[in-house]
Structure 1
Amino acid sequence: METFPKIISVDDHTVEPPHVWRDRLPSRHREAGPRIVRAPLKEMTFVGGKFAPTMGEPGDEGPLADWWVYEDLRRPLTRLDTAVGYDRDEVRLEAITYEQMRPGSYDVRARLADMDVNHVQSALCFPTFPRFCGQTFTEAEDRELGLLGVRAYNDWMVEEWCGPQAQGRLIPLTLVPLWDAELAAAEVRRNAARGVRAVCFSEIPPRLGLPSVHTDAWDPFLRACDETGTVVAMHIGSSSRMPSTSEDAPPAVGSTITFANCCLSMVDWLMSGVFDRFPHLKIMYAEGQIGWIPYILERADVVWEENRGWGGVADKVLRPPSELFAAHVYGCFFDDAFGLRNVESIGVPNILYETDYPHSDSTWPRSREVGEEQMGHLSADVVERIVRGNAIDLLGLTDDGLWPGP
């Protein structure tokens, strides 16, 4: 293409610097809050979709790593958290320190420089230590500290990560206390009042021991999102269980079918009646790709029409699922040539672009080249919508693609 639009990535990631909770929790909670400890790695596996690291004691053999320590959790930084800048064959399941990662993973100025290299103007970033929808705090024993941890993260996200030095190029994405829908609603409204238009949520809440979207348990949270124009952002793995086929399946199996959780989740939402109760609600699926969407919509419409007598949706899903999708759902991709050959079957207004920086799947520093290769058959106005226009509309950005701030 002669000119490729400046990218607005709706799925990148931040690796939180060590000071996030140390600086922002009340002083009486800092010793118990999330903190970094440098210690050896004894063992680490990732099979059957399950990540299992073991932290060593001082003096033990094993590579040194930086570990997040919080209650009983011991979670090391890993090469999979921040793989950009490394040859693909060098990206292995290993624990690392901050010094062993690209600074753009955790430093704002370095991130902006890496965005420049990659033809990216603006980026929405999911968390790392809290996990993709704040499961770390949801699983904590101390609910008071967990709520403070969520709020501290959000304050850091808005005031520092997306603060003045980001120049409007980093777009805030916040967490909520998933264990209490009323508290979640209050946190949505608190952050919406300072310009936040996206919040993390679980793709499949029951896998976290939480109510499904088929109940009314989430209504306070969803109402807050509906009324404030806050998009519900769901990342693959935000149910704490990556797709896999068996306990001994290698990670490559799960990596091939990562879209599967998004597929399951989208059908849940389309068949839940939520969109009829909350007509302005928008949801998005980060890193789920888009090639699978046309068939699921076709099948969902058939089931909605043909199985209404016994399907359990006749009284609550008032429009065909494909119509609900068009009005409420966004699919996000970083590398999906098949999906881009079928954009008309998905809907151009429902597609968003991402780069997945700094993860191992990231197209950095070739996101522009990948886009040009896969979108060459599309008209310039369609490319503009997919690469940035849809994100501007969804996230309430300026016409120039920047976060306007509080």
Structure 2
Amino acid sequence: MERELPRIISVDDHVIEPAHLFESWLPAKCRDRGPKPFTAGIGELRYIGGRYRFTTDPAGQITDWWEYEGEIFPYKRIIAAVGFSREEMTLEGITREEMRPGCWDPAERLKDMDLNHVEASLCFPTFPRFCGQTFAEAKDKKVALACVRAYNDWMVEEWCGDSGGRLIPLCLIPLWDVDLAVAEIRRNAARGVRAVTFSEIPTYLGLPSIHCGYWDPFFAVCEETGTVVNMHIGSSSQMPAASPDAPPAVQATLSFNNAMASMTDFLFSGVLVRFPRLKLAYSEGQMGWIPYALERADDVWEEHRAWGGVRDLIPEPPSAYYYRQIYCCFFRDRHGIDSIDVVGRDNATFETDYPHVDSTFPHTRQLALDHVQGLDDATVHKLMRGNAIRMLGLDLG
């Protein structure tokens, strides 16, 4: 008899924003300067400064786009890949009509979750980018702030509103102003939001470091409200690569490096010492790398703290703060499962990455069963849903 698997709570999925989002949710006075959807052929692809840049071309593949402050952003097949074969998951443009409707329609998303053995899902943005970099880079910060709030209102009231708690709101902050960020956390926490997205390495975005104290009010309000700080790989707008002309496969293989660098930064920052109830979550970083990263961090703390700048800053071994306050997540990571006692049976969560090219849809249940076959029922429950429930404070069993 095949083993029963608890219904999954996925802590890393994605949403394709509907074309009406900003027209419906931005204040009327901002709409003419806010993001606007359009459809056009896609042209030349260039990779500049860690980002793909596109041009339009009347003869190119018909694609749905956003235009905002003169910049254009196309939707591509790799970010709406469910329903396509592996050979079809390319950087070609795509329209919402060509996408599986669950990419952008919440009712259809719930149907796909049912097909995929998923009870609840936390979704990262697409057009705003993983932590709202699109608005942080905007010139008109008043409109950008209105866009952040409009996105959050849409996320809470429309995307998640009729889902009965199955779609879990994940909100943005105005990254360019910590006081505005604190206010936005409070505004959303007051309506039950318990998750915010943040950059894994804010200095890569030209923002202050986590070491300098600038972000302490943000961390304090997240601790106070029980808001989890979620950091997705690529939320620094850079992906690691060994060489500037390496193929994208190198970046895809090394993507966990950003999570590893970010986690090490936090472990030695003192942030987790000052805010002992703050919760951090690393999204799509997998977990097989964590045992050695913790071993090395503890070794540095033990052997090198006199000159390493952390003797008086970090009173306990860094791994103690990881086990107390940090969550990882996985979907294909057998090495991480083999090391689950060191990764932490209380620290690991699961994801499906719907609808991205890495998504396990519609085979998530079988893939999860293959991974957990050697684990006891209590651990399987923790990995599939229990740890996510505790992390996010969900009203689920």
What TM-score results when the alignment is normalised by the length of structure 2?
0.98
Contact 2:50 2:237 in 1 (8 A): no
1:337–1:134: structure 2 CA closer, same or farther, 3 Å change rule? same
Equivalent of 2:270 in 253, 269, 273: 273
Question: Contact between 2:283 and 2:328, CA under 8 Å: does it hold in 1?
Answer: yes
Q: Name the aligned partner's letter for residue 65 of structure 2.
A: W
Deviations 1:314-333 (A, max 9, x none): 11111111101000111111
Query: Secondary structure at the residue paired with 1:313?
Result: coil
Query: Secondary structure of the residue that 1:323 maps to in structure 2?
Result: helix
What corresponds to 2:295 in structure 1?
Answer: 298
How many residue pairs get aligned? The number is 396
Q: Which amino acid aligns with 1:225?
A: C
After TM superposition, the structure 1 = structure 2 runs for residues 55-70 of structure 1, keeping only pairs within 5 Å, are 55-56=56-57, 60-70=58-68
> Does residue 384 of structure 2 align to residue 396 of structure 1?
no
Q: What is the aligned partner in structure 2 of residue 44 from structure 1?
A: 45
Amino acid at match of 2:136: T
Runs of 4+ off more than 6 Å: none
SS where residue 349 of structure 1 aligns?
coil
Q: Which residue of 2 aligns with 1:31?
A: 32
2:370 is aligned, of 369, 373, 379, to: 373
Please, which moves more after superposition, 243-252 or 301-310?
243-252
Shift of residue 50, structure 1, vs aligned partner: 3.1
Compute the displacement of 1:47 (Å).
8.1
Matched, 1:219 2:220: no
Show CA shifts across 1:329-376 (max 9, x none).
Answer: 111111101100110011100000000000000011111101100110
1:31 is displaced (CA, Å) by: 1.5
Distance 2:338 2:233 in 1: 23
Looking at structure 2, the residues matched to 45 and 343 of structure 1 have their Cα atoms a distance apart, in angstroms, of 40
Counting aligned pairs with the same residue, the percent is 55
Find the counterpart in structure 1 of residue 244 from structure 2.
247
Given that residues 48 and 250 in structure 1 are in contact (C-alpha distance below 8 angstroms), is that contact kept between their aligned partners in structure 2?
Answer: no
Residue of structure 1 equivalent to 2:89:
91
AA matched with 2:393? G
Equivalent residue number for residue 174 of structure 1 = 171
- Cα distance per residue 1:104-136 (max 9 Å; x no partner): 000011100100110000000000000000000
8 Å contact kept, 1:122–1:169 = yes
Q: 2:285 matched to which residue of 1?
A: 288
Q: Measure, in 2, the Cα distance between the counterparts of 1:98 and 1:32.
A: 23
> Partners in 1 of 2:386 and 2:367 — Cα distance?
18
RMSD after superposition = 1.1
CA contact (8 A) 1:48 1:246 kept: no
Aligned residue for 1:209? 206
Q: Compute the displacement of 1:72 (Å).
A: 2.2
Give the SS at the match of 2:78.
Answer: coil
Report the 3-state secondary structure (helix = DSSP H, G, I; strand = E; otherwise coil) of the residue aligned with 1:100: coil
Equivalent residue runs for 1:78-117 within 5 Å: 78-117=76-115
Shift of 1:49: 4.5
Q: Which residue of 1 aligns with 2:151?
A: 153
Q: Secondary structure at the match of 2:384?
A: helix
Q: Give 1:89 deviation, angstroms.
A: 1.0
Structure 1: tracts of 5 or more residues without a match: 401-406
Q: Distance in 1 between matches of 2:244 and 2:396?
A: 48
CA distance in structure 2 between the aligned counterparts of 1:77 and 1:188, rounded to whole angstroms? 29
TM-score (ref. length: structure 1): 0.96
Deviation at residue 48 of structure 1 after TM alignment:
8.2
1:82 touches 1:105 (CA, 8 Å); kept in 2? yes
Question: 2:332 aligned with 1:342, yes or no?
Answer: no
Aligned pairs for 1:252-267 (under 5 A) are 252-267=249-264
* Secondary structure at 2:13 match in 1: strand
SS in 1 for 2:40: strand
Aligned to 1:53: 54
Which stretch shifts more, 260-269 or 38-47?
Answer: 38-47
**Residue ranges of structure 2 left out of the alignment (5+ in a row):** none
Deviation at 1:2, TM superposition (A): 1.9
Q: CA distance change for structure 1 residues 362 and 48 in 2, over 3 Å: closer, same or farther?
A: farther
Partners of 2:374 and 2:3 lie apart in 1 by 13
2:327 maps to a residue whose letter is Y
